[in-house]
Structure formats: structure tokens, C-alpha cells
């Protein structure tokens, strides 16, 4: 039995199977329904696999189980309210999503962000990268059978989440970046907390490497697995570490620097191995580079305001609001009706842990976005699944899927 392009419902598969099983002359292949609850799909991805023995002949991904209509929701929210929705798209990289949304809005408004807020954004966006890569490494390792790495990674991730909580009051859904700067003034004593973390973190990466890099089981499961050619990846819309593990240094942080990334000294790690192991190495190197960026941000953190000087867009200082009539009016207007954004359209991209996030924002001059389209990196990456796993063995599917590092919330939005 074969997967027809139109067949995705379980019922149709069953009917097809009934027909097929009664045909004695047919070449016996089997269709396996993997997911949407399979642990290695990290969320609710459903894969239909057509198998000949253990070899995958055809794969058909089925997505949409986590669709929550976020793009529609944006149109019903004011610009500032929209920030909270972005957290929930890619829940492992909330601050990256906050950032791209705010940058798009600021581009339309023509806002100048003070250097302190820019540095803080870069620093926290890199923490998000560490956070996301740690979850990836932990779960990827557990999928392949390296149980203990999970506990090591979550030890460090917990500290990162505490840092997020210190800044924003939230561990995951931070909404810490707002159009016009940051939501709150950075808390007292954050420097020590961040410094303590980045002082030990490189040695922790060494620990992960000790556990995995030379481990023969790990190498056996990852080396030479999950190859896909660079041309195919570009043609199928893959971005991020997968592309860099194939030797192409495509990174929005270098190509079109945003939020002051041009002031930081860092490398874009690449590898030419182009398999699961190569992607693992690229991500570990990225974690080391991120630590470098965080250290530079910490040491070079400029002083100054954390929000742009834009009355009417940024909420006024509490003290001013209580003493000045004008500020009170602005406060009332921003809270009740939001601010108007000049008509126009922008496409802002940044480099999230998973690849290129794009936010296409169309404004018609009112307080609510006319249209927000979200280009999630996971959506682009997932499209390459059939190319990635067709012809391989079913056991390698787990490793190949894990190496993509997708988040279904980001795919389905």
C-alpha cells in the first residue's frame, strides 16, 4: 500500500489497507502512523511512514494540531498587546519572538532605541539561545538513549529561567521586550547573577561534551545519519543550525545586524559534516559563542534609559504620571486605546535558535496591526522531512528529527 498524496486521515489509511491486504499480488509495504503523541516528535507532529521492512519509502508529515489562530488574534489586539502572543508561538525562544515583533513595530514607527535597551535585548536573546539549545540537547540525547545528559542540561536551564524570572517576573512567557524598549527597568543585582552563570557555563559545556562527543554509542547513532544536501535545504526553506552544519554561514545576526549585533565580536560556527553529529557540534559551538556575546554585553553595558523617548508610545514614568497632567493623559490614552502606527509594511527577520524568524507586519494607520504574518523557522525546516528521512532506516528517524530542533507551536502558530 502506498501513501497517496491526498491520503492523510486515519480512516482513509485503514480503508486503503483493507483493500490492499486482500490483494495477494501486491508488494507488501506497511504504513506506520507515527505520532501525534510519539515522544520523539516533541509536541504533536504526525508522520505517515510507508515502510518496506525497516526502510522508509515515503514520509508524509501532517501538522496543524497546535494551531491556535495567533495570526488572526494579532489583528484584534493593539500593537503592544500583541507582544504577549509572540511568546506563545515558539515557547522555547520567547524573547527572540518578542524581539522580532518589537523590531518590526519600531521600524514602522521609526523609533530609536537607547543603547542600553539594545544591549539588554542582545544579552537576553542570547540567553534564549542557550535556553533553547539546552532543551534541544537534553531531549535529543534522551531520544537517542543518553539519559543523564538531560539532567545536566536542565540544571543550567533552570538557572537561565531564574534569570528570566528576575528580569521579567516570568520564567517562560516573558514578554520582556516591548515596542519602545524594555518592559521594566533591569532588576538590582542582575550583573552578579549573569556573571556567576557565564563564569561556570563554558565548563558545563565541556561536561556535556565529555558525556557525548567521544561516546561510541552517541557517535554510532549520529554520525552519517540524517544527510540532506545543501541545495535541497535551500530549495526547501531550511534555515538555522541545519544549514550551517552543511557549511553555509547564513546567519541574520551577521547578514543584516539588528539591535546592535554589529558591535559584538562573535563567529558563526559552521561544519561541513552535514549530519546529525555535525548539527550537534554546530549547536554546541553556538552555545560557546553566545556565552561570549553575553560576556561582552555584560562588560560593555551602557548606562542610560531603558526605553525610548517617545511619549504617546512608551508608558510614562510612574512618578511623572502622578505629578504631570500631560503624562497622565498619555498614560490614559496608551492604556485605553493604544498608539497609532503609520501605514506601511515591513518584513523584519532575526536569527532565533532554530533559524530565521520573520515578522511581516502590515499597518493601515490604526492602533491594531492590519496583518501580521509569522515566518517560523520550524515550519520551513519541517518541510524538508520527507527529503531527510526517505530511504533511511526507521531507527534513524528519531535522530534525524531530533537534529532539526523544531517546536510545533512555532510550526502551527
Partner 1 sequence: MLPDSLSDNPTAKALADLATTGKFEFGELTIEVAPANIVAALDRAKNKLGFTRLSTVTGVDRFPAEPRYEVVYHLQSVTDKGRLRLKARVSGENPEIESACPVYRSANWYERETFDFFGIRFLNHPDLKRIMLPEEFEGHPLRKDFPVTGTRY
Q: Which cell goes with 411?
A: 510550526
Contact positions with partner 1 (CB under 8 A) in 246-275: 248, 250, 255-256
**Grid-cell match 535529543, residue found:** 140
What separation in angstroms does the CA of 398 have from each of 136, 392, 395, 413? 13, 11, 6, 24
Selected from 32, 321, 346, 394, the binder of partner 1 by CB under 8 A is: 346
Residue among 212, 217, 214, 242 nearest 228 (CA): 242
> Residue 55: which H helix or E strand, with range?
strand 55-62
Q: Which is nearer to partner 1, 107 or 292 (by Cβ)? A: 107
Q: Which is nearer to partner 1, 69 or 214 (by Cβ)? A: 69
Q: Which cell goes with 47?
A: 508522520
Interface mask toward partner 1 for 7-46; x: CB under 8 A: --x-------------------------------------
Contact positions with partner 1 (CB under 8 A) in 348-377: 349, 356, 358, 360, 362, 370-371, 373, 375
Selected from 57, 344, 366, 394, the binder of partner 1 by CB under 8 A is: 344
Selected from 14, 21, 26, 67, the binder of partner 1 by CB under 8 A is: 67
What separation in angstroms does the CA of 392 have from each of 51, 52, 61, 224, 234? 10, 11, 16, 11, 21
Selected from 21, 54, 302, 347, the binder of partner 1 by CB under 8 A is: 347
Length, in residues, of the chain: 413
CB 277 within 8 A of CB 223: yes
Selected from 2, 383, 390, 394, the binder of partner 1 by CB under 8 A is: 383
Contact positions with partner 1 (CB under 8 A) in 218-237: 234-237
Q: Give the whole-angstrom CA distance, residue 180 versus residue 102.
A: 8
CA pseudo-torsion sign 390, 142, 40, 247: negative
Region of 93-101, 134-142, 331-339, 341-349 interacting with partner 1 (CB under 8 A): 341-349
Region of 67-75, 111-119, 280-288, 296-304 interacting with partner 1 (CB under 8 A): 67-75
**Grid-cell match 539561545, residue found:** 129
Question: Left if phi > 0, otherwise alpha if psi is -120 to 50, otherwise beta: which for 348?
Answer: beta
Q: Which is nearer to partner 1, 211 or 362 (by Cβ)? A: 362
CB of 341 to partner 1, least distance (A): 12
**Residues in binding contact with partner 1, number by CB under 8 A:** 41
Beta strand residue intervals within 84-162, DSSP E: none
The answer to whether 58 contacts partner 1 (rule: CB under 8 A) is: no
Q: Give the whole-angstrom CA distance, residue 263 versus residue 181.
A: 18
Residues that bind partner 1 (CB under 8 A): 5-6, 9, 63-64, 67, 69, 71-73, 75-76, 107-108, 234-237, 248, 250, 255-256, 344-347, 349, 356, 358, 360, 362, 370-371, 373, 375, 379-380, 382-383, 412-413
Amino acid at each position: 500500500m502506498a501513501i497517496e498524496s491526498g491520503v492523510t486521515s486515519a480512516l482513509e489509511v485503514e480503508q486503503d489497507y483493507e483493500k490492499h491486504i486482500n490483494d495477494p499480488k501486491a508488494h507488501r509495504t506497511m504504513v506506520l502512523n507515527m505520532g501525534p503523541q510519539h515522544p520523539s516528535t516533541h509536541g504533536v507532529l504526525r508522520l505517515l511512514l510507508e515502510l518496506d521492512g525497516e526502510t522508509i519509502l515515503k514520509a508524509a508529515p501532517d501538522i496543524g494540531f497546535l494551531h491556535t489562530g495567533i495570526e488572526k488574534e494579532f489583528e484584534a489586539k493593539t500593537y503592544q498587546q500583541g507582544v504577549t502572543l509572540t511568546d506563545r508561538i515558539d515557547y522555547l525562544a520567547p524573547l527572540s519572538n518578542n524581539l522580532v515583533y518589537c523590531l518590526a513595530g519600531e521600524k514602522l514607527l521609526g523609533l530609536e532605541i537607547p543603547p542600553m535597551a539594545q544591549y539588554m535585548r542582545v544579552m537576553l536573546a542570547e540567553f534564549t539561545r542557550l535556553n533553547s539549545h539546552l532543551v534541544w540537547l537534553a531531549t535529543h540525547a534522551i531520544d537517542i538513549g543518553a539519559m543523564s545528559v538531560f539532567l545536566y542540561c536542565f540544571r543550567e536551564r533552570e538557572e537561565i529561567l531564574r534569570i528570566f524570572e528576575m528580569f521579567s517576573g516570568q520564567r517562560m512567557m516573558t514578554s520582556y521586550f516591548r515596542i519602545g524598549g524594555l518592559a521594566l527597568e533591569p532588576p538590582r543585582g542582575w550583573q552578579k547573577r549573569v556573571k556567576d552563570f557565564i563564569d561556570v557555563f563554558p565548563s558545563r559545556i565541556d561536561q556535556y561534551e565529555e558525556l557525548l562527543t567521544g561516546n561510541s554509542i552517541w557517535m554510532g547513532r549520529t554520525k552519517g545519519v540524517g544527510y540532506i544536501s545543501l541545495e535541497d535545504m535551500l530549495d526547501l526553506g531550511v534555515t538555522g543550525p541545519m544549514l550551517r552544519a552543511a557549511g553555509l554561514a547564513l546567519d541574520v545576526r551577521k547578514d543584516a545586524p539588528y539591535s546592535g549585533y554589529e558591535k559584538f565580536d562573535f563567529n558563526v560556527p559552521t561544519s561541513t559534516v552535514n549530519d546529525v553529529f555535525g548539527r550537534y557540534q554546530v549547536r554546541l559551538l553556538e552555545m560557546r559563542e553566545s556565552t561570549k556575546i553575553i560576556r561582552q554585553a555584560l562588560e560593555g553595558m551602557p548606562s542610560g534609559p531603558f526605553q525610548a523617548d517617545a511619549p504617546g508610545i512608551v508608558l510614562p514614568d510612574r512618578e511623572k504620571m502622578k505629578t504631570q497632567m500631560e503624562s497622565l493623559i498619555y498614560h490614559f490614552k496608551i492604556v485605553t486605546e493604544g498608539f497609532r502606527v503609520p501605514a506601511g509594511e515591513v518584513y523584519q527577520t532575526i536569527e532565533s535558535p532554530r533559524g530565521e524568524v520573520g515578522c511581516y507586519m502590515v499597518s493601515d494607520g490604526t492602533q491594531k496591526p492590519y496583518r501580521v504574518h509569522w515566518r517560523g523557522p520550524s515550519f520551513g525546516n519541517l518541510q524538508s522531512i520527507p527529503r531527510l528521512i526517505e530511504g533511511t532506516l526507521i531507527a534513524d528517524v528519531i535522530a534525524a528529527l531530533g537534529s532539526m530542533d523544531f517546536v510545533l507551536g512555532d510550526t502551527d502558530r
